[in-house]
A and B are shown apart, each in its own frame.
Chain A
Amino acid sequence: MSSTAAAGTIDHHHDPSTSTGIPNKKLLMWLFLASDCMFFGCLISTHLIYRLHPPPGTPSAKSVFSIELTSFSTFILLMSSLMMALAVNAIQKGNLKSLRVSLLTTIFFGCIFLGCQVFEFNNFVFEKHLTITNSILGTTFFTLTGTHGTHVAVGVLWLILMYVRSFQPQDLDKRRGWFLVNLVHVLALVVAILLGMNLVLGTTRALEATGLSAATLAHFASGAILRILGLLVALAVLIRLGRPAGPVAFNEGNAMDVEMMGLYWHFVDIVWIVIFTAVYLLEYI
């Protein structure tokens, strides 16, 4: 509340304007997560039920999975939770610089996870011939992990918007163009992420196909010259816009907005732990 913010102290754990002292937004997120638990509960149950009744000709999950890659991406996703917690901590102390670094790292880790999933899906479909239509394993696997991946992608988008929001200038009267700047900032970050992921995955594929050599890289780079230029432009825009021109409106008072997002992000990570156990590790027992 503005009155408490002006007094200089914010109690991040108690909101006097609500009956219970729990901020509305926090309660909303907790309840939404309860609902989301049921969503994932139904999907995971579907997978586990069908796992027990495989029709003849179903490929064995073990022959399809690559547990090393998934373990790596699981680890990265868990580390992103750490960065998210640091971001919440930073904004509660009013440390904007630390907040932005933590948010960018969380976004980066989230993207690594998504990149691994894209790679994994590609690998399953084109190398292992497991598609969403050709077997019940493919059907439940891709639907479940795809739904989780969508949750991560939504989380990354939210993180991007929150990062950009932390640059919103305080004095809107003098900065009438901020809405356009805001939009450009979001688009630059999205473009940078998409091109970056595309290039990294493309390089991996090229290396897989012909092995590590300077010629391979040069050949790939010449084919991707436009994408590389686009990425550089997006990064340049990001670095330029990453320096706020004046005082910003984002401060300790927004800690709840970040914390709410953090709850969502941690939840998505926890769901992944369950999925990783129930879908992947279970096959290796």
Chain B
Amino acid sequence: MADALAKSDFIGKEEHATAIKPFVLWRPTAKTGLMSWLTTVDHKRIGFLYGISALFFFLVGGVEALMIRLQLMVPNNNFLSAQQYNEMFTMHATTMIFLAIMPLSAAFFNFIMPLQIGARDVAFPRLNAFSFWVFLAGAIILNLGWFMHDGAPNGGWFGYTPLTTRTFSPNHAIDLWVMGLQLLGVASIAASLNFVITIINLRAPGMTMMRLPVFTWMTLVTAFLIVLAFPAITIALVELMMDRLFGTNFFEVSNGGMPILWTHLFWVFGHPEVYILILPAMGIISEILPTFSRKPLFGYPIVVFSGACIGFLGFGVWSHHMFTTGLGTVATAAFALTTMAIAVPTGVKIFNWIGTLWGGHLQMRTPMMFALGFIWLFMFGGFSGIMHAAAPADAQQHNSYFVVAHFHYVLIGGSLFGLLAGIHYWFPLMFGRKVSEFWGKLSFWIIFVGFNVTFFPMHFLGLNGMPRRTFTYDYNMGWNGGNYLATIGAFILGVGVMIYFVVMIYTYFKGEKVALDPWDARTLEWSLPNPVPEYNFRVIPTVHARDGWWYEKHHKEEVAQEQKEHAQAEEAHGGIHMPFQSIYPLFAGIGILIGAIGIAVIDADPGPNLVGKKLATCLVGFVVFLSSVYLWSLEGNEGYHLHIDADGHEIPDDHGASAKH
């Protein structure tokens, strides 16, 4: 037990902290200011970095959406040119999926998950920082096009070949898209490896797999999906990049290439991706509903297994995006069946959530409102999803606004509502303040109404034949009313989101202060004071029940005694081990950014001379990356020890090897 308590993979010796080292291996120690953020390895700070970037890009993607809606508001509109419109819908989708929803989920994975399992950090803190910097590099590359002559990527978010090959998209816009997504893939895979190891290996004593909070379970499933699904798009992007840069023939029809290969590889990634987007939100909902129903989650094992089941089935349904490509009857029937099968575990979850609400003492707080909105809207999106599963019906709905309505119901009504609920729910834990109920509920209702006014009419537009990605339409197509209404709705939605964020910023500075555990919640993260100390848990908790914090609240004496013993055992092992900060994850990210600029932005070198501008830029990036990784490994995973007394104050230790190093 004592060994298990002194949890760390620390293999260095503490004296290393005072050794004289070459200047390149000095570890940064800033705890405040810019350097502290650039060199941080703390999962909570990295969570904030993800969160802030995600919210910024969410607003960017939102502005793009409003431009699209303005263009479609009236027939034969020329607010945007066709080219600008293509850029808008491509970047709106890419931004919302890869730069808003995924990183917002990653923010929660980072901040909440280690706290829920009673860990002091993720398994590989520097790798975690590296994931964030590479994510940022990818986001920069994707958006560089707005500031370039070639314009932003314009091939649609699934970048179908041959449209995206060099023949039809000769300029750098698609190169930016390819490299941007490639970097985001690297970042997501690296982060997910870290999350899986953390959940499997860093659980507090007593935290068995079947006691993990559901959000942590969904983090695990999502991380597995990312690790196994992203390679498919990585390879697809590598093949496209080889075609564009080196003239290979993967998608070059004249030389035997087959564009359908891209479609398959993309959706082998793309379908698990939609579960990557929705499962974290389902996890958040499964935390919020029990808290505000004053009941444990109904059918915990079933919720967990159906989540894992969704993840598993998610790999077997990709071709339902391709029913109209002529797969053949058997393949079409098989994929239609698996697609309908996936509705079963999803429905099971919905019923479990209803079971959780059933007979509970419901408290209608803002997070609960968003959670209930999630169930309702996600169910709607699920129903239209089932309609797509029937291949003959899908042949009618394919690439129409019906599909647009469907996936916005699951992505906004599902993922985004879940994440907005999560922000409200964990805001007191993160910042020690609570959003006022009036403004929270007001923003909920405006978002809810605006969302439905925008996207519900799109079902009818789709069934009336309006194709997606159409730049404009004639006045006599019968689409005028629906489009006008949808645009009005989009602006209501925009106002709601604005209120949500303005209130959030106001609350950060001036909101009502709250004490420990304001919602009387059930999971371990709520046992922590605000702000959460850098070391998270003064004493690593021992988990006795599924709702660990609930048990602690009702067995105070037993837990106090236990914690005292554990604190002594840990002190005997040298105190709380903390990892040193490091600058090299940032430098490695910068190296990757330079290399990606070399590949995607710089023009190809004319002639066969070896040291052209493009190659030179790539090489500089490669050298920066390689030397950062070299120094990263040389500096090692050393750390220092903290000694904290029962009141949470730091006791300086004899060697002076505390926070100073």
Task: List A residues at the B interface (Cβ < 8 Å).
Answer: 1-3, 5, 15-20, 22-25, 27-28, 31-32, 34-36, 38-39, 41-43, 46, 49-50, 53-55, 58, 132-133, 135-136, 139-140, 143, 147, 161, 165, 172-173, 176, 178-180, 182, 186, 253-254
Contact = CB atoms under 8 A, between A and B. Distances in A.
A135 B235 CA distance: 19
Contacts of B124: 24, 28
- Say whether chain B's binding surface is mostly helix, strand, loop, or mixed: helix
Centre residue among B7, B20, B196, B249 by max chain A CB count within 10 A: B249
A176 B22 contact: yes
Interface of A is mostly: helix
A156 to B, nearest CB: 14
Contacts of B201: 18-20, 22, 24, 27
A143 B242 CA distance: 9
Contact of B235 (A22, A46, A182): A46
Contacts of A180: 22
A32 B231 contact: no
Nearest to B199: A19
A161 B261 CA distance: 39
Interface string B214-230: 00000000000001111
A133 B10 contact: no
B228 A38 contact: yes
Given A143-B250, A253-B11, 6 more contacts: A17-B9, A31-B193, A43-B235, A58-B256, A179-B21, A180-B22
Nearest to A136: B256
Interface in B307-336: none
B247 interface: yes
A143 B634 contact: no
Contact of A35 (B228, B248, B634): B228
Contacts of A22: 200-201
Interface string B2-27: 01101111111100100111101100
Nearest to A3: B573
B100 interface: no
A43 B19 CA distance: 48
B189 interface: yes
A-B pairs, 9 with minimum CB distance: A55-B256, A38-B231, A42-B235, A136-B256, A179-B22, A16-B3, A18-B201, A139-B248, A39-B231
Contacts of A135: 249, 255-256
A236 B507 CA distance: 67
B234 interface: yes
Contacts of A28: 123-124, 193-194, 197
A33 B616 CA distance: 32
A46 B256 CA distance: 12
Contacts of A133: 246-249
Contacts of B232: 38, 42
Contact of B231 (A17, A20, A35, A46): A35
A139 B261 CA distance: 14
A46 B202 contact: no
Contacts of A16: 3-4
Interface string B244-282: 001111100001111001000100100000000000000
B561 interface: no
B200 A19 contact: yes
Interface string B119-154: 000011000000000000000000000000000000
B167 interface: no
Contact of B197 (A17, A24, A176, A182): A24
Contacts of A49: 258, 261
Contacts of B25: 179
A147 B239 CA distance: 11
Given A35-B193, A50-B256, A176 B3 contact: no
Contacts of B476: none
A2 B12 contact: yes
Contacts of B24: 179
A17 B120 CA distance: 13
A18 B10 CA distance: 12
A136 B255 CA distance: 7
A53 B258 contact: yes
B234 A46 contact: no
B250 A46 contact: yes
A73 B189 CA distance: 32
B631 to A, nearest CB: 9
A39 B235 contact: yes
B633 interface: yes
Q: Choose among B6, B235, B261 the residue with the greatest number of A CB atoms under 10 Å from its CB.
A: B235
B319 to A, nearest CB: 15
A40 B540 CA distance: 41
Contacts of A176: 20, 22
B248 A132 contact: yes
B203 interface: yes
Interface in B89-126: 123-124
Contacts of B20: 172-173, 176
Greatest chain A CB density within 10 A among B123, B201, B268 is at B201
B38 interface: no
Given A19-B201, A43-B235, A46-B250, A182 B634 contact: yes
